[in-house]
Amino acid sequence: MVEIPILALNSVSKQYDDVLAVNALSFQILEGQCFGLLGPNGAGKTTTLEMIEGMTPPSSGAIHYRGGPVPSDYQDRIGIQFQATALQDFLTPFDNLKLFSAFYDHPLPMQTLVDAFQLKDFLHRDTRRLSGGQRQRLLLALALVHDPEIVFLDEPTTGLDPRSRRDVWDVVQRLKAEGRTLVLTTHYMEEAEVLCDDLIILSHGAILRHGSPTALLAEAGVETLDALFLSLTGERLDAPEAAV
Amino acid sequence: MTIRRSVTRVWAVFKARNLEYLRDRASFGWNLVFPILIVLALAVVFSGPPTGIFSITYLGAHDARPALLDFPGVDTVDATETTRALDRLARQQTDMVIAVAEGEVRYWINGYSAAGALTEQLLKFSESRPLISGRTEGDGIRYIDWVIPGILGMNMMYSALWGVGYVVVRYRQAGYLKRLKATPLTKFEFLSAQVMSRLMVTLSASTIVFVGTNVVLDYKMVGSIWLLVLIALIGALSMITMGLAIASRTESKEFADGLLNALTFPMLLLSEVWFSLEGSPDWVQWIAATLPLTHMLDAARAVMLDDAGLLEIAPNLAVLLGFCVVGMGLSTRLFKW
């Protein structure tokens, strides 16, 4: 029996005026998978992610949820951590958790979130005074506040120091272990190799390669995804502003 | 079920916005302190003895002006409406009203005003044409009595327009609205919470300033306090919804600044916050009549100074309600997360 993917993209494109940001992408994401969208800045990762999240409508093509159209209560089923999210000034993590919990019918208990994301030490601190790692943990907690089926993480470790990055990886690994479906974008190759079960490598809005990290490396006969990307495009994957 | 969920979400956003405002001590304090400082400064400047210059309101052709108007120490205000001129006389905002038509010189003075009696003597002494006299009565109002509604209204205008317009644009620019879009919160729920929060803040701050300055200055308030509350409620609402409409799509704080200034500056100038527009050209008064603050101040002064009832201020309230409906409609329709 063929497993129905939790999400499927069928020839999805996004056009902004005269710029084709995403060009006819087709791929599937299976339930419980950690799916990665890799590519340098400007490759179309965030645009693709926003279309799957329902934040931006595709210019053409279709997105399916469990084999059918995206349901009207889709926002209740997904959790999103954006690349750059501001929160209200002067509010604490406690205030934010209360606020976001109120948006949903069945939020997780506050204590569960505080424990899971280790928020206790800074629960009543102004969010403007949190470190990068603390802030990311709070944003992850907010994305998970309603116990969603699918969690979208847009470059969750960008700008973090190595220790904070490891902390976020631990959280993501735990979410994977719970069987949750994760979709993440990153331009850190090591991150993708550690976390992703399946991934696509994007360049200029199109898929260069699709497969598991192990399979892609074996197929190309290289040691790292960065080397693979370099061999495909002549660009380094983690080079800033490598593509428009 | 849906309504209950909706109310829960609006309440949560309302509380969060209030927390943000109350913890921002600098903004909160300034909203209270600034109008009090203005009122106190004006009280100091204008509560001294009269300057000794007579003020005469004149209705008539330029070449028929009585000689009295050219006397040194006499200020002349040209007017076109006898009723409004006599209202000013009743409040002792002018010492005499003179109307010349078809060779007839009619004049009115306020029976309670000593300055009125003096100008009457001066007019009789200087005028050779036949005179027809009239009288009104009414206690004088100080400038501070007249300007208090203007200052309260101005403060409400700034609080309403900037407190909502600027904040929503700041949220958008920072990406916070995009984060909210990814939740089940609807545009209408978000906008309603912003309106409610700002309304509460604006009315609370205005009440504190109103009561506080009244204790210090004992300004004139002869009408119904409930009517005044109604005017403040609808007036603030009209400006909050206008602020939301401006912020509905604007992405840059600088552009929002420009738009808000373009809206507040004409009101500051033409809505009779600081001075009366009586005697100004018709087109100026026509523009003033299109501004919500003008209607709010007209109604507030009518209640505070002349004990006007609901029927008398109904046209002003209707215009303000119109602004509310248009502002909220535009905001909901145009709003982009």
Residues of B in contact with A86 (CB under 8 A): 171, 174-176, 179
Inspect the interface and report whether the beta carbons of A99 and B16 lie closer than 8 Å: yes
**Interface membership of B336 toward A (CB under 8 Å):** no
pLDDT value at position A237? Answer: 59
Q: Which helix (H) or strand (E) holds B100?
A: strand B96-101
Residues of A in contact with B174 (CB under 8 A): 86
- Its sign, for the CA torsion B276, B280, B283, B284, is negative
**Band of the pLDDT at B48, cuts 50, 70, 90?**
low
Give B12-43 pLDDT, tens digit per residue. 999 999 898 888 888 777 777 777 777 777 66
B209 contacts B40 by C-beta, under 8 angstroms? no
Would you say the ipTM is above 0.95? no
Mean pLDDT for B113-122 is 87
- Out of A131-145, B125-139, B227-241, B256-270, pick the least confident: B125-139
Of B174, B179, B184, which has the smallest distance from its Cβ to A104's Cβ?
B184
- Its sign, for the CA torsion B151, B153, B159, B165, is negative
Task: Report the first-to-last Cα separation within chain A, whole angstroms.
Answer: 42
Cα B167 versus chain centre, distance? 23
**Band of the pLDDT at A243, cuts 50, 70, 90?**
very low
Using CA atoms, how far residue A104 sits from A55, A173, B5, B116, in Å, is 18, 25, 8, 70
pTM across the whole model: 0.76
**Band of the pLDDT at A59, cuts 50, 70, 90?**
very high
Give A107-162 pLDDT, tens digit per residue. 999 998 998 888 999 999 998 898 888 888 899 899 999 989 999 998 888 877 78
pLDDT value at position A43? Answer: 86
Please provide the DSSP assignment of B105-154 as one string.
Answer: EEEEEETT-HHHHHHHHHHHHH--S-EEEEEE------HHHHHHHHHHHH
**Band of the pLDDT at A6, cuts 50, 70, 90?**
very high
Most B-contacting residue of A56, A90, A92 (CB-CB within 10 A), to test interface? A90
Give the nearest chain B residue to A72 (CA atoms).
B184
Exposure class string for B274-294: b at 16+ Cβ within 10 A, else e: eeebbbeeeeebebbeebbbb
B226 CB-near residues (< 8 Å, 6+ apart): none
- Residues of chain B above pLDDT 70, percent: 96
**Band of the pLDDT at A225, cuts 50, 70, 90?**
confident
Rg of chain A over all Cα atoms, to the nearest angstrom: 18
SS3 state at A163: helix
Mean pLDDT for A182-209 is 88
Pairing mode of beta strands A181-186, A34-38: parallel
A171 CB-near residues (< 8 Å, 6+ apart): A116, A117, A137, A140
In the DSSP assignment, the letter for residue A243 is: -
pLDDT value at position B144? Answer: 81
Of A90, A95, A100, which has the smallest distance from its Cβ to B183's Cβ?
A100
- Its sign, for the CA torsion B192, A126, A101, A156, is positive
Please provide the DSSP assignment of B272-322 as one string.
Answer: -SSS--TTS-HHHHHHHHTSHHHHHHHHHHHHHHH---HHHHHHHHHHHHH
Residues of A in contact with B23 (CB under 8 A): 90-91
pLDDT value at position A1? Answer: 62
pLDDT value at position A242? Answer: 39
**Band of the pLDDT at B47, cuts 50, 70, 90?**
low
pLDDT value at position A183? Answer: 95
Give B74-87 pLDDT, tens digit per residue. 888 888 888 888 88
**Interface membership of B17 toward A (CB under 8 Å):** yes
Say which residue the tokens 């006969």 belong to. A221
Checking if the pLDDT of A244 tops 50, the result is no
The Cα–Cα gap between B264 and B239 comes to 10
Beta-strand (E) ranges in chain A? 7-16, 19-29, 34-38, 60-65, 78-81, 150-154, 181-186, 198-203, 206-211
For residue A12, give the nearest of A70, A73, A84, A76 by alpha carbon: A70
Question: CB burial class (10 A; 0-12, 13-18, 19+) of residue B127?
Answer: middle
A217 CB-near residues (< 8 Å, 6+ apart): A223, A224, A225, A228
For residue B173, give the nearest of B281, B249, B114, B60 by alpha carbon: B249
For residue A46, give the nearest of A7, A84, A99 by alpha carbon: A84
The Cα–Cα gap between B105 and A215 comes to 105
Q: Give the neighbor-by-neighbor strand order of the sheet with B74-78.
A: B74-78, B54-59, B96-101, B104-110, B131-136
The distance of B236 to chain A (nearest Cα, Å) reads 24
